[in-house]
Chains A and B, each alone.
Chain A
């Protein structure tokens, strides 16, 4: 364990993630991992400070863990996963004596409430509606396309279906036809329905302290659910001032004083920026690792800094680099999914293997030969990592991966 600074905060990490724990163990803040009991033996065996807690249900016991952590001397709780965001809110409302934090976390957890709050604050959002059942989805699909003045027989514009409480891409489906609606299983409701926007989709990672952005990264999606890279192309980066303004609106709308947010946006062809959703936790798709590859700082350590009430402005300035300018190159990754129905083995395509931008992959050998149809975004079989100087070349390379087989 790295020497810990007793003058700095003591953080409670909610959730079990070896990568996060590794990074935080190497940082100078005292920490304790709060995670399900199945991780306890492993934590003890590896000298990881640990408190066992079952996050499955938020109930009157949240008070218990909050006071347990208060007695332990913790200053703040940091959520690692979507499921622990409201726990962190509940705990922090006790640790920081600020009841408002619980309400704030509920907004982050409910995609519909989140959108309404954003809308009320004057942030532009697409057309959206809650759905409780399949009929709601069909109605929304029809109405959106009526609005678009489609005629009978024209292909419908797709709509997006997002399960309320699933992280990021996992509950996200694109619905194009009524048949697609049938494939949704009952347990994915309630869900949020959104109209499709043609345009440029991107995500933002923002470390916030004292209500101010300390570092803002723009992650450019090549294709949603497949590939992303950082820093973005100069074309998207040219929007940075306006993006920062949008983030500041979010900070105000959600009354965010500190922490880490991960919102998604669309820029349509006419240059209008639409808010998609925001999460109060580290992003999936290993975006923090891409940021580390490009900039050299560890995102988890940055999150600890952003949450710790004892962090100084000088520390933050020393920790975070200058966006874009300080990046040593562009880092991207591609989530591979079999394109064939039956696969035998994983094999990196020759062109990819030889490409100088290709770094390494984390693809698993197939466990079964028959491939189930990909139902939601984010269900890739592993990531392939790239790094290079030219963002356009990187973008095209990532795009090209969609057309080759990693599983044959």
Chain B
């Protein structure tokens, strides 16, 4: 009897919801907030009613489409941060709790293919939910207390929601999937590892509490946990830094060397640096065991050579930039030394400048806020420089619409590191960046904000300092060529990035009409510029900016996206692949119709993404080439061109008009030569 009453309650509330929901759907955007509040009020009760979550799961896509999230962050689901979910559910105002719950349930519907969303595809929705679940494992691994649930408190309603999600996301083993997911992310060696560390911390808690239930997926999890909390015998059991230093003091030379090597091995295995590792390196310096630095950093021969040449500088860098709160800088330093860039004349003095540099108050404030005040702003920035130069392909745009800026930082970090340090010094001291566009000076400090409103806070320190300026300059350059009736990147890319960007630019889209233009010729030219079989075997020498038409997992056009072509080379199976950098935080994306971007296992170096050459070509819409070399004789066969073009038509170019003939190709100059 009671059960029927309760089910009837969910039915009744779902019926009550219809009125406000219909009002919300009809309302003009400016009038939606009021009906949003009404809908969310009913949702709050439905969440606590038995059977209510099922009802909300069914209704969530309609609520979303009606505009429940209009005007809020939830309206852009691809930008949501998994780490914020539990805080909202636990401490949010009632309306925020309801909105978060509906958002999760509509993502569940997207992940399960029950509905589609213009802003997020199924794989991304599923990944988001996996991460949310990973961060909240204790909430649904816990025993179900039906009595507590019947009491209908907010806490139990939230736990019930997590359990519902875990049951329906469709994986049997959240932990296993999560571990795979963390490994997949870490193999791309991002600079920002805080989200991965949070998830590993959750895994550690779950393993210690209910390790017995986990089964054989445990191994990969153990490796992650130990890399972070106890990579060696001396820090086994996570004793705390104080106790750890006491243990070190009692070790002999051999033990210490093992310790150094163990820490370095764990670091290079995962890309994660344990707090103990940073503590060890500092202890080594303090106790004059300097001979251990190379082992502690896990250096190869190039790195050891650099260390020897620049010993004093490296020690200063360590003392200022590496500590348990900024442990990842240790990994950056290791890679920086192994890249050998300290042998490049300007780098060492540029770091000397960086050591002396005091950021101006506005920049210092941004650094402190973004860095959670764990260190002095100047030290945070120094650590950031070391990381970007050590792992330039680890730069990510965060949840900011600034792929061009992130791409530029990564490109300079890789190809023009002293120029990057020059920009950082300028921006840190003056809070402005001066660049030139076709001879015209552009001072970012005098420009309005670009795509990103305010500075990014979820990015690395170098991005925090530079992105607001680069973003504005990029926007200003776009404004200066807005009336040229062509894709502005033709002119912007070489001016913005550097001399090595090809001055001839081919574009597959006629900008005024949006039509696909000269597609087959475009593909042919791309082969002749980049494919070793058609360009006379010439490798990609400098990273080249390029534009892809981003698509979702169903192959539907999402938007234009900036990437960098890094290499073109055959993989181990002999298939020619394009290796590229994607400033997106996670390059492993499904672009639909078979274009699954690989980040590991197909010959990728850390931070690279790759696709087979033809597949990549079918998603490309803009690339640069030099133009000042003899035209290659060899053109791909018509079959290949037709096939690749067809792939484009089936995906991002679907529904576009088509202009036949030669590809649009422009020289980046203000006047065309006669």
Contacts and interface: CB of A to CB of B under 8 A. Distances in A.
Interface of A: 18-19, 21-22, 25-26, 42, 46, 48, 293, 353, 356, 359-362, 365, 387
A361 B41 contact: yes
Which applies to chain A's interface (DSSP): helix, strand, loop or mixed? mixed
Contact of B31 (A22, A293, A360, A387): A22
Nearest to B41: A360
B674 interface: no
Contacts of A353: 45
A26 B25 CA distance: 12
B12 interface: yes
Contacts of B20: 359-360
A18 B30 contact: yes
Given A293-B19, A359-B42, A360-B42, A22 B27 contact: yes
B585 to A, nearest CB: 32
Contacts of B19: 293, 359, 387
B42 A22 contact: no
B37 A18 contact: no
B28 interface: yes
A46 B30 contact: yes
Interface string B14-52: 001001100000111111001001100110010000000
Given A22-B30, A26-B26, 16 more contacts: A18-B30, A18-B31, A19-B31, A19-B34, A46-B28, A46-B30, A359-B19, A359-B20, A359-B42, A360-B16, A360-B20, A360-B38, A360-B41, A362-B37, A365-B93, A387-B19
A21 B42 CA distance: 25
Interface string B84-115: 00000000010000000000000000000000
B30 A362 contact: no
Given A359-B19, A365-B93, A26 B41 contact: no
17 contacts: A18-B31, A18-B34, A19-B31, A19-B34, A21-B30, A21-B31, A25-B28, A26-B26, A46-B30, A48-B30, A293-B19, A353-B45, A360-B16, A360-B38, A360-B42, A362-B37, A365-B93
B38 to A, nearest CB: 5
Nearest to B33: A18
B4 to A, nearest CB: 14
Nearest to B12: A356
Contacts, number: 40
B152 to A, nearest CB: 10
Contacts of A48: 30
Contacts of A19: 31, 34
Contacts of A22: 27-28, 30-31
Interface centre among B12, B28, B93, by most A CB within 10 Å?
A: B28
A19 B35 CA distance: 10
Contacts of A25: 28
Contacts of A387: 16, 19
Nearest to A22: B31
B134 to A, nearest CB: 32
**B interface majority secondary structure:** helix
A359 B16 contact: yes
B47 to A, nearest CB: 13
Contacts of B45: 353
A46 B29 contact: yes
B30 A42 contact: yes
A357 B28 CA distance: 28
A387 B38 CA distance: 14
Nearest to B42: A360
B508 to A, nearest CB: 34
B38 A362 contact: yes
B23 to A, nearest CB: 9
A46 to B, nearest CB: 4
Contacts of A46: 28-30
A365 B93 CA distance: 9
A26 B23 CA distance: 12
Counting from the closest, the 9 A-B pairs by CB-CB distance are A22-B31, A360-B41, A46-B30, A360-B38, A22-B28, A18-B31, A25-B28, A359-B16, A360-B42
A42 B146 CA distance: 49
B534 to A, nearest CB: 52
Nearest to A356: B12
A362 to B, nearest CB: 6
B13 to A, nearest CB: 9
Interface string B476-499: 000000000000000000000000
Contacts of A360: 16, 20, 38, 41-42
Contacts of B42: 359-360
A295 to B, nearest CB: 13
Contacts of B37: 362
Contacts of A356: 12
Nearest to B29: A46
Give the residue among A26, A46, A293, A360 with the most B Cβ atoms within 10 A: A360
Nearest to A17: B31
A212 B42 CA distance: 40
Nearest to A42: B30
Nearest to A346: B94
Contacts of A293: 19
Contacts of A359: 16, 19-20, 42
A25 B20 CA distance: 18
A202 B20 CA distance: 27
Contacts of A365: 93
A306 B28 CA distance: 23
A304 to B, nearest CB: 16
Nearest to A363: B41
Contacts of A362: 34, 37-38, 41
A21 B32 CA distance: 12
A46 B30 CA distance: 7
Contacts of B31: 18-19, 21-22
Contacts of A18: 30-31, 34
Contact of A26 (B12, B16, B28, B38): B28
Contacts of B30: 18, 21-22, 42, 46, 48
Nearest to B43: A360
Nearest to A354: B9
A231 B483 CA distance: 62
A359 B19 CA distance: 9
A48 B42 CA distance: 30
Contacts of B29: 46
A356 B45 CA distance: 12
A387 B27 CA distance: 21
Contacts of A42: 30
Interface in B554-604: none
Nearest to B37: A362
B150 to A, nearest CB: 14
A48 B30 CA distance: 10
A253 to B, nearest CB: 37
Interface in B200-228: none
Contacts of B93: 365
Contacts of B27: 22
Interface in B163-212: none
A357 B12 CA distance: 10
